[in-house]
Amino acid sequence: MATIIGGNGLGHFDTQGQVSIKLGGNNGLQINASSGNLVLHHQDQTLVSKGLDLSLVRTYNSQGQQQDGNGDNWRFSFEQEIQVAGSVIKRVSGDGHASVF
């Protein structure tokens, strides 16, 4: 699925979808028309179960500030973090979006 979005967020949060095009499979592409940010999603593996399925998804965020091991801006969906600096709390999600509280 390709989506052209607008907004100030990096990733899915704080954005609005404008145009969607089906790419096939469980892979996705988003382009933020406001910032030029490119976000790619790739589902590597899925474990189907009777309850909740488990998927291993990687996300590339061209403007993300990921602190990944090799600096390629790809991040797994389970790689989420909370950073605390004084009274500022920052939550970074698996797609690279950072929310500051």
Q: Would you give the distance in Å from CA 41 to the centre of its chain?
A: 7
Tokens of 53: 């399925």
Is 93 within 8 Å of 81 (Cβ atoms)? no
Whether the per-residue pLDDT at 101 is higher than 80: the answer is yes
Tens digits of residue pLDDT in 20-76:
555 666 777 888 777 788 888 888 888 999 999 888 888 888 887 666 667 778 888
